[in-house]
Structure 1
């Protein structure tokens, strides 16, 4: 086959979709001598991600379901996120097992279901994160700085996200299937139907990449960019409300020392060491809370982009590679490229519980209560801080918070933002 033979593209005869003799991408397996070090590394990564993801997401789900005080709008989306993470993680053992073998050994049903589950859970993950960012955008950027959404509405939106994902990827159940190669070996691959009048692969891949991947990412970036800008732009409001200035000082230019100390700079946000300022304790606590909020928001965007853009790009490149004529064998993608980006996407099922659960004061209190078996389990009182306008819970609190300023609202949000 030559030195340039790509072991991730194998030659076979398609008798179902009408393609005849052509090359097929192997996705989960690779027709070559296995590299023990690479296989062990992949399987070890899969195993660790699977165990941590199952434990973390089950714990998050129990917290929201078991304790009524945890059923806020944000946490309803977090629960949906945990469900999608768990579904995504369920496919990990099958993928890890396949990396030990050159051929597909799990059967035709598994070949159809595993990609379908991964696609559906992936789109649910991304759109749930997008809805979380939209809700936070309303809480922080748009007056009156509180969510109008209720937990019931959040549950309905979550159900609609699942419905969209399950319907959108129904064709995957038919197009992913076992394919026999010319060497009498089986692979699990994606075979689009062939028609003379319509390019089905293009009509499916391009809208899916745009609607299921790029659009929710764009919404995430836009929402958090607006939140980020809003928090930074309100620093003068924080300075006015925190720094004690006399009448003479208040007439001085805005760049006086005291006021400058109260502002949040970009270096304050992204440097790990504490701010070295001689401010009042109250102001330091308040400003540090704002910095924490911005850091978590920024981390949310970076994590989503880093973990979902690679597999989105690789899937698009597989699509481009597959459009080559059979005479052109210069395929540049390998199965391990797909698997590595899949591992990165799987890693998001571990990061999500950390960003949206462990970093939350309320979730930490809930987890400690469950692990230590402390407290009164019947009343379910978990919330350590007052309910904020962003929490989307008990409407009785809204009247008392309508006059709350944006600065005060944000200063109480880190446990919700996280």
Structure 2
């Protein structure tokens, strides 16, 4: 449909004056069903609340327990912080999905998209750091005390944040508000426009996103966990060749523990690919649409790919926290301690009631 000097296609605008195609990203117009925006908003809000609650528990556990302040758990804490910051964009995206037109201001257009790129890639590379830490600990066998101290962990985490912040700094400048004048008024949306010239910035950015934001992390994580898997498998075969009856019970316990660890490692890789691959594919398709002027990728495609990525902060606390033996022991201890206190309180109440009844007699 053509309005004034612009062509609208639900998620794309073609400005005939500037001969430029704009993708609306989080905004969408001329929806076939307006209720879809509210469904998207509700789903994102639920994911946001669950992620904040789960990651808050993980951070609180690590800071409140001295025994839990290990090298891996410091990385897990950094991952939880990245999870919270990344998923905190969900309410703002949900608001834009409902309103369509961007009402959050020009500054938020720059900051929101830049922050999402930085936080998501910080999460990804923190997961890479965790896989490297587990590889060094399990396969190489270097004790934690000989590896790193908390200051080193802080520097590594700060380096991850600084590197991702620098890599995606261009998005803070090239995301901007775009006003489109239609016959019935003006609409505003936040879009990404690369500078024109001989350098194909969109190709460079998409390539960097594919390599640094997905391809290389998947390769490193897969290799590290594959080596850990081989280590467990070789130890399992060695144990299977032994027939000493005195160690059979210990062997069975160890087997169950190793099987659980192997399943967790496989699950980590599978979930990582399933949750981050869709948004990488969608960004690539958006670039192809704009370059070839096909204008076919709908904005809700990007939204649901982002929702899948938002699920990762919900899953990470289970994979990196709730599956941790020490964390589970702490939870069981707290639950038993609370139940003991409740039973003690009930006993004291019953004792006081019995003493009162005896005195009345």
TM-score band by shorter chain is 0.7 to 0.9
1:153 aligns with 2:156: no
How far apart, in 2, do the equivalents of 1:66 and 1:193 lie? 49
- CA apart distance, 1:66: 2.2
How far apart, in 2, do the equivalents of 1:139 and 1:294 lie? 15
Q: Verify the 8 A CA contact 1:50 1:92 in the aligned structure 2.
A: yes
CA RMSD of aligned residues (A): 2.5
TM-score (norm 1): 0.74
2:99 is aligned to: 101
More helix by share: 2
- CA apart distance, 1:67: 1.9
2:347 is aligned to: none
- CA apart distance, 1:70: 1.1
TM-score (norm 2): 0.85
Map of 1:1-400 to 2, 5 A cutoff?
1=1, 6-12=9-15, 20-33=18-31, 35-144=33-142, 148-183=147-182, 184-195=186-197, 197-241=198-242, 243-244=243-244, 280-324=248-292, 328=293, 330-367=294-331
Distance 1:225 1:37, change over 3 A: farther
SS of the aligned residue for 2:224 comes to helix
Distance 1:62 1:13, change over 3 A: farther
Could you list the per-position Cα deviations for residues 229-248 of structure 1 after superposition, in whole angstroms to 9, with x for gaps in the alignment?
A: 2211222222245x327xxx
Instruction: Specify every segment of 5 or more residues in structure 1 that has no aligned partner in the other structure, as ranges.
Output: 15-19, 246-278, 376-418
- CA apart distance, 1:374: 5.5
Distance 1:113 1:149, change over 3 A: same
Distance 1:180 1:105, change over 3 A: same
Q: Verify the 8 A CA contact 1:11 1:182 in the aligned structure 2.
A: no
Which is further off, 121-130 or 218-227? Answer: 218-227
Q: Verify the 8 A CA contact 1:61 1:79 in the aligned structure 2.
A: yes
- CA apart distance, 1:318: 1.1
1:398 is aligned to: none
Distance 1:237 1:152, change over 3 A: farther
Q: Verify the 8 A CA contact 1:88 1:118 in the aligned structure 2.
A: yes
